[in-house]
Amino acid sequence: MNTIQTGQVEIAYETSGSGEAGVVILIRGQRTQLIHWPESFYQAFATEGFLTIRFDNRDTGLSGKFDHIAGPELEALKRRIAAGEEIDPPYTVEDLALDIVALMDGLDIDTAHIVGISMGGFIAQLMAAKYPSRVLSMTSIMSGSGPVDPTLIDALWSVPGSREAFIQEWVEYIRQFGSKKYFEGDDYSRRIAAAAFDRCYSPDGANRQLLAIFSREHTRDLVRTISVPTLVVHGADDLLIPPAKAKETAELIPGARFQLIDDMGHDIPPGLGKSLAEIVLTHIRSTSNRTA
């Protein structure tokens, strides 16, 4: 495990691949860690010669935490969001994007192909809009672009609990929102959840990320300015974020391509990893061909 200080926070990351073909940066979603990427997905890029970077967003995994904003202060911010009020969050989605820019700077990476899922899709879109000189291509997976309904914050809020409760919550999440055709079974879900809990359990960190998501402003206007080659991928069976949200994102971005994946829910299980990576690689290769 490697770490780098971005200025605001320390970011933990792992790499694979030679880098001869370029760099691919993978951005996880809210409350999940770099270990949630299936090897079948990220190794597909490394096999093609890309330096593939996985990392923990701030407030997850082994990256730095903003624990000075916690407890009652977080609850108060949540209540204001639920009431439709504006807040000053502990940090913004742009701060999460700037962590990636700082990570690239620290590793002497000028440009990269950016791939984000769920919240990571929000971050990838913002990077493409605000820092296009650093982005060779952008892929947004299982994400949208518009604001999130503030009434959903209570349902998404993480409540501290035991290790077993955390594991069972993940099992039930995958049962409900996962890709059922590629379902690996409850035992697999339990192993992943146990590894995530033991590596880092930070419900307050997950909630601070939620506040950043719910505080996003002028999102559609920003997405319309994206000029880098863009692929928007979504699962036809995604019950958490409707496919129509992703289709809207693709329609907002000039020249973006939208691809709907049959039998895919709101996750990337190992059995889907390689084929999904190949879809992204096809997009990256087409970008390289246009540049050449």
Residues 13-35: tens digit of each pLDDT: 999 999 999 999 999 999 999 99
Query: Using an 8 Å Cβ cutoff, are 29 and 120 in contact?
Result: yes
Q: What total number of domains does the chain contain?
A: 1
How far is the CA of 47 from the CAs of 54, 242, 260, in angstroms?
15, 32, 25
Residue 85 CA, distance from chain mean position: 25
How far apart, in whole angstroms, are the C-alpha atoms of residue 273 and residue 269?
A: 6
Q: Which token pair is 203?
A: 């419900």
At 292 the pLDDT is 38
CB 221 within 8 A of CB 130: no
CATH classification of the domain holding 114: 3.40.50.1820
What does R_g of the chain's alpha carbons equal in angstroms? 18
pTM of the prediction? 0.96
Q: What is the pLDDT of residue 40?
A: 98
Residues 6+ apart with CB under 8 A from 158: 31, 203, 204, 206, 207, 210
104-124 as b/e, with b when 16 or more CB fall inside 10 Å? bebbebeebbbbbbbbbbbbb
Written as six digits, the tokens of 89 are: 């969050």
pLDDT value, residue 289 = 59
| Low-confidence residues of the chain: pLDDT under 70 | 289-292
Domain range for 264 is 2-291
For residue 148, the tally of other CB atoms under 10 A from its CB is 19
Q: Which residues contact 86 (CB under 8 A, 6 or more apart)?
A: 80, 215
Residue 8, pLDDT score:
84
Cβ neighbours of residue 259 under 8 Å, at least 6 residues apart?
231, 232, 233, 234, 279
pLDDT at 245: 95
Two structure tokens written together for 127: 């990077």
CA distance 237 to 98: 32
pLDDT, residue 217, reads 84
259 within 8 A of 139, measured Cβ to Cβ: no
